[in-house]
């Protein structure tokens, strides 16, 4: 299969789009995972993300017919509310996109709704998170101000990333697939125990848990060291192919020492050529791509005794922005701007 790209390539199957003055969003993890699914030889595959966030990879796979269905789960009520509102109250969500003012006063209103969120879904909470994602500096939901500042004197202003017609078009495109999207708002233990079994026979699962280091600073729902160990114990018992990505730290290398790990670089700033490394683990060594595989997601190169996967990623930021994973901005950029649509 092929993935349609637009704008300029920064790596094969890696597409870049200008977001604001310093940020370029890149999506190319979806083709890599598509290859893994093909190598898994799953008939009518279902792609599962227990830590979905913006679900950009999941939606790219679905809209490109790489999978038949997707299952997205996120324990963050606001993020869950974005997707539930988009999928189940599409017309109301679109009307809010079209009619809501783009101003600092409105930003304060939406910020208050987000900060005072309860424990239940609401259209208002979903749109508040969406609004902040599109209008906040770096798209960060918490602890960030509006693009252009409160005095709106910056080079980019609060409306810089809120292209109403384009956002509406993307929302409509995603909503067409709602019968193939299964959405959950469960903690990881409950999801794995009670909901994953419904899909496991046809599932390929991508786990992107909270970082081991600095988890408390980066995530609303962070894990303790014991939590990371427990999740590993549950993952290794699964009877379906899976991929896990983590920050590259000794503790994670030790926990997953029974599996072959690969390091891969995330290009998070094209302007500064910034990179950071993460770890990747697969359920089966046979799934690892080789240089003979007809895929162009990663550039494979020898790095001492291990293969180094180096490719631009949607999980990027700039100026060492430390709280990108506290938001779901970049995956939302994939979902709403950078999805590869079928020709």
Residue range 245-276, pLDDT digits in tens: 888 888 988 999 999 888 766 554 333 444 56
Q: In which domain, by residue range, is 15 found? A: 9-75+186-338
- Whether 115 maps to a domain, the answer reads no
- Whether 305 maps to a domain, the answer reads yes
Q: What is the mean pLDDT of residues 292-316?
A: 37
Q: CA 63, CA 331: separation in Å to the nearest integer?
A: 15
- Whether 158 maps to a domain, the answer reads no
Q: How confident is the model at residue 222 (pLDDT cuts 50, 70, 90)?
A: low
Q: What is the pLDDT of residues 198-218, one digit of tens each?
A: 999 999 999 988 876 654 434
For 157-182, give one letter per residue: b (16+ CB within 10 A) or e.
bbbbbbeeeebeebbeebbeeeeebb
Smallest CA-to-CA distance from 23 within 130, 139, 104 is with: 139
Name the one residue in this structure whose structure tokens are 């729902």: 221
- Whether 334 maps to a domain, the answer reads yes
- Determine the 3-state secondary structure of 136 from DSSP: strand
Q: Which pLDDT belongs to residue 215?
A: 42
Q: Is the pLDDT of residue 292 over 90?
A: no
CATH number of the domain that 324 lies in?
3.40.50.150
- DSSP calls for 73-84: E-S-HHHHHHHH
Element (H, E) at 9: strand 9-11
Q: Which pLDDT belongs to residue 263?
A: 77
Q: Is the pLDDT of residue 85 over 80?
A: yes
Q: CA 192, CA 289: separation in Å to the nearest integer?
A: 27
For 121-144, give one letter per residue: b (16+ CB within 10 A) or e.
bbbebbbbbbbbbbbbbbbbbeeb
What's the Cα-to-Cα distance from 171 to each of 78, 86, 87, 244, 330, rounded to whole Å? 17, 7, 9, 29, 16
Name the more confident of 331 and 99. Answer: 99
- Whether 128 maps to a domain, the answer reads no
Q: CA 298, CA 320: separation in Å to the nearest integer?
A: 23
- Whether 314 maps to a domain, the answer reads yes
Q: Which pLDDT belongs to residue 87?
A: 96
Q: How confident is the model at residue 312 (pLDDT cuts 50, 70, 90)?
A: very low
Q: How confident is the model at residue 80 (pLDDT cuts 50, 70, 90)?
A: very high
- Whether 172 maps to a domain, the answer reads no
- Whether 156 maps to a domain, the answer reads no
Q: Is the pLDDT of residue 295 over 50?
A: no
Q: How many structural domains is the chain composed of?
A: 1
């Amino acid at each position: 299969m092929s993935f349609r790209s637009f704008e300029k390539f920064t790596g094969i199957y890696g597409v870049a789009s200008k977001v604001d003055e310093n940020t370029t969003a890149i999506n190319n993890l979806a083709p890599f995972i598509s290859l893994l699914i093909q190598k898994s030889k799953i008939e009518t595959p279902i792609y599962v993300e227990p830590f979905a966030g913006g679900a950009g990879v999941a939606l790219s796979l679905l809209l490109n017919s790489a999978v038949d269905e997707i299952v997205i789960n996120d324990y963050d009520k606001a993020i869950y509310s974005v997707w539930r509102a988009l999928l189940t109250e599409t017309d109301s969500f679109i009307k809010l996109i079209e009619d809501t003012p783009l101003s600092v006063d409105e930003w304060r209103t939406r910020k208050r709704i987000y900060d005072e969120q309860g424990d239940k879904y609401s259209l208002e909470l979903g749109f508040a998170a969406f609004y902040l994602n599109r209008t906040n500096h770096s798209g960060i939901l918490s602890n960030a101000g509006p693009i252009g500042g409160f005095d709106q004197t910056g080079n980019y202003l609060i409306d810089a990333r809120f292209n109403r017609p384009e956002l509406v078009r993307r929302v409509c495109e995603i909503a067409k697939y709602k019968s193939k999207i299964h959405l959950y708002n469960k903690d990881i233990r409950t999801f794995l125990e009670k909901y994953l079994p419904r899909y496991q026979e046809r599932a390929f699962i991508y786990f992107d848990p909270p970082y081991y280091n600095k988890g408390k600073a980066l995530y609303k729902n962070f894990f303790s060291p014991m939590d990371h160990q427990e999740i590993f114990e549950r993952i290794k018992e699964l009877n379906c192919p899976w991929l896990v990505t983590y920050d590259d730290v000794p503790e994670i290398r030790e926990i997953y020492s029974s599996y072959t790990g690969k390091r891969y670089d995330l290009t998070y700033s094209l302007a500064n050529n910034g990179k950071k490394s993460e770890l990747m683990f697969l359920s089966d060594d046979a799934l690892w791509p080789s240089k003979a595989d007809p895929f162009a997601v990663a550039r494979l190169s020898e790095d001492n005794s291990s293969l180094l996967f180096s490719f631009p990623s949607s999980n990027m930021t700039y100026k060492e922005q430390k709280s990108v994973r506290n938001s779901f901005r970049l995956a939302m950029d994939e979902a709403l701007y950078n999805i590869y649509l079928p020709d």
